[in-house]
Amino acid sequence: MSQLNVLVTAGSRRVALVDAFRRALAASGGGRVVVTDVNALSPAVYRADRAYRVPISSDPSYLDEVFAIALAEGVRLVVPTIDDELTLFAHAANRFAAAGVRVAVSPPTTTQICNDKYATCVTLRAHGIPAAISYLPPDIPVAPLFPLFIKPRYGRGSVGAHIVRDAHELAFFLDYVDMPVVQQFLPGAEFTIDVLCDFQGRPLSIVPRERVVIRSGVIDRGRTVKDDGLIALGESVTAALPCVGAVNVQCRMVDGRPVVFEINPRFSGGIPLTIQAGADFPAMLVELVLGRRVTPRIGHFRDQLWMTSYEASLFLDESQVRLDALRQAGIGEVA
């Protein structure tokens, strides 16, 4: 049977994602999951088969180090996981492909638009897709309708995001938030739509999830929702913005209609719920890289499956702690 090795970048706390790829590889012929991270104490480092310490993604050597690791480990699929590196990998996808390595990342134009919260909504509205009305500071109406919502234009994880209730708060947060974008306040229930596209941009699976309880920007408790309107929204977003790999569309229900406020072209923090509901994105990506046919299964998942999350810890003896990175041919190994 064929086998492949997968590299997951910025492993950090993404233990569930690493485990999902390990299961997918075991079921598809074998292979290893390799993780890169800046911190040798990140939990995913100890769940992966191999792990390497790398510099932060803004370091000029970052991409070269990941590329060298991929070649040394016989990796055939790279899965970037953080917003900061998506455009970097998008521009380098052809370089990896020339070496026989697929990168599950959307095209540069898509990653650039999605990393810009203002451009995301403006682009979607230009395509007729309901998205939050958004303003840059110079364009805010003289008498805006409150409440509003303000956040960093290039932020992530709900950091720096605030409800703005009046003109006084607006003036304060415009000065307080770095490079802000101001949006209409969306009061309804919040949903994430997990979408997986193949390497030609065709949607293979779409799973909406209600984010019932959110902690630090990540779903803590939620449920799958088989809603035709949300599924159609996921399809329309991928038609407007070509996507590859995992994408998550964030929206709220306003007067019975979903309105998008953000898109992240990467695996979501709530992906374990989507996988458990029967839409195994890692397994489908593995099958694609192995050259096997993956038939679209839009709407095929378990409806009303709830997830309630909790903290878990790994306990390590001193001999198990991978603190000292070995330097071999420019590769920082922590496994």
For 139, which DSSP code?
A: G
Query: Can you say whether the dihedral through the CA atoms of 162, 164, 170, 172 is positive or negative?
Result: negative
Residue 24 in any domain: the answer is: yes
Residue 239 in any domain: the answer is: no
Of the candidates 149, 184, 219, which is a domain's last residue? 184
| Model pLDDT, residue 227 | 97
Output the domain CATH number for residue 151. Answer: 3.30.1490.20
Whether residue 137 is found in the same domain as residue 69: no
- Residue-number span of the structural domain to which 42 is assigned: 5-104+314-333
pLDDT in tens, 196-215: 999 999 999 999 999 999 88
| Model pLDDT, residue 192 | 97
Q: What is the dihedral of CA 318, 321, 324, 328, to 10 degrees?
A: 130
Counting beta carbons within 10 angstroms of the beta carbon of residue 312, is it exposed (0 to 12), middle (13 to 18) or buried (19 or more)? exposed
Whether residue 42 is found in the same domain as residue 93: yes
In angstroms, the Cα distances linking 64 to 100, 130, 307, 325 are 16, 40, 38, 17
Residue 164, pLDDT > 70, answer yes
Report the chain's mean pLDDT, rounded to a whole number. 93
Cα 252 to Cα 259: distance, rounded to the nearest angstrom:
5
Confidence band, pLDDT 50/70/90 cuts, at residue 155: confident
Residue 204 in any domain: the answer is: no
The pair of three-digit structure tokens given for residue 14, joined into one six-digit string: 């993404």
| Model pLDDT, residue 256 | 93
| Model pLDDT, residue 321 | 80
In angstroms, the Cα distances linking 28 to 43, 271, 290 are 25, 20, 9
Whether residue 12 is found in the same domain as residue 79: yes
The total of structural domains in the chain comes to 2
Whether residue 9 is found in the same domain as residue 100: yes
CB neighbours (10 Å) of residue 322? 18
pLDDT in tens, 244-257: 999 999 999 999 99
Residue 40 in any domain: the answer is: yes
